[in-house]
Structure 1
Amino acid sequence: MQAITWRDIDTVLLDMDGTLLDLHYDNHFWLEHLPQRYADTHGVSRAMAEMEMRPLFEKNAGTLNWYCLDFWSTELRLPVRELKLETAHLIAMRPHADAFLAAVRQAGKRVILITNAHRDSLSVKLERVALAPYFERLISSHDYGFPKESQNFWSALRDDIVFDPARSLFIDDTLPILRSARAFGIAHLLAVREPDSRKGPKDTEEFSAVDSYLELLQGL
């Protein structure tokens, strides 16, 4: 990964899940815990639960509904927020993310969290990990009514916080979201090499990727 030219950056935009927090919590919840609780509650097999849930996942991927706990509670007839608390012990910050956040703040950069996570999901995470003090703002895409995959999100963000895309760094673990940011004009983009600590590195395709947050401190 090439060193960041920090003098060219005023604003640091950061995703949460898979970027600052280990994605293992979310992957375990959605792929393991929730299907099992669906099976238990509705009296079906685990295989049947996954078969019934799969079309809903495929239909809503990349939309705001995909990230909305209220939507999934209604669709699955389950108290999803309460179920997320059952595995909250798995919520963990990625290595050295806190040191990176502290250093960026100390360097005088604007630091803003932008997440597709529903506000209820965000609150569950913040109860377990002390992220809030590092940020000027904690923004959920639900505040704007558009996911980060949409250009409408980025327009709403610029109107809200007034930032220069050409002088902004954005880090996210989702490639379609990084491509959306690039289309909007965000000049400095980084993916995350290993969002889920249990799944190993992934191909970040055309994007440079963060292996360790300590790498980013050079020249800050």
Structure 2
Amino acid sequence: ASPCAAPLGAQGASLHGRIIDATSGAPVVGATIAATTAGLSTRTDSAGRFNLGGLKVGIHRFLVSASGYARGSVSLAFAARERMERDLELEPLGASTATDTASAQRLPNVAVTADPALGRRYLDFERRRATGRGQYLTREDFERNNFFTLQDAMRTLRGIRFSCAGGSCTAQMARAPMGCAPEYIVDEREDNAFGPTIPVRDIQGLEVYTGASDVPGEFAGRHAGCGVIVIWTTAGRELRRR
């Protein structure tokens, strides 16, 4: 086994990929990637590759560092025994050139009325939000309204009812037949077990489609009539991926 690889574990999920220079695309040798939520870490080999295994089901936060580069972090959600492939980029220190403020021209202030974009990680989220179909909440909405649970957030949206028993509640779209549960999509993957229980602190974006007429084509399927709840969990500054 490579000295750079952490034990994979028979039951654990794993993260594999490369750490590369964001400017040149060259592999970053000897970079450290650490799963702070699992107490695991490894280093990249001579090709910039890494293998980090033994991860439990759920969301894990990874910190990436290397000499001469700015540190980065990313949070990813894992299913049981999932093998995830990710190439992550690190920004070299001093890559940007300082602006000559003496010769810079001051531009007039411009009023911004559009909602702020969430970043490249959320291009699909932004594209669907621009269509006006569905209902959307961002991390800013969660913090401004002091939502404590996913159910708290969804109670503010139209077309959703809740059934509560034994201290827990399940969501159902008002237009769906009784007992027809919505589909949960977590970080672009179907996850009907983890989706309803995601801690609100980990949610960065939420899309809710209450019926088949609202559901975008990429989520259409046999459960579209029950509604679709799309959850984005990546926290903090995400490393750019190739």
Q: TM-score, normalised by structure 2?
A: 0.29
Give the structure with the higher percent helix: 1
Q: Which has the higher contact order (CA 8 A, sep 6+)?
A: 1
* Structure with the higher fraction of residues in strand conformation: 2
Larger Rg: 2
Question: What is the TM-score when the length of structure 1 is the normalising length?
Answer: 0.31
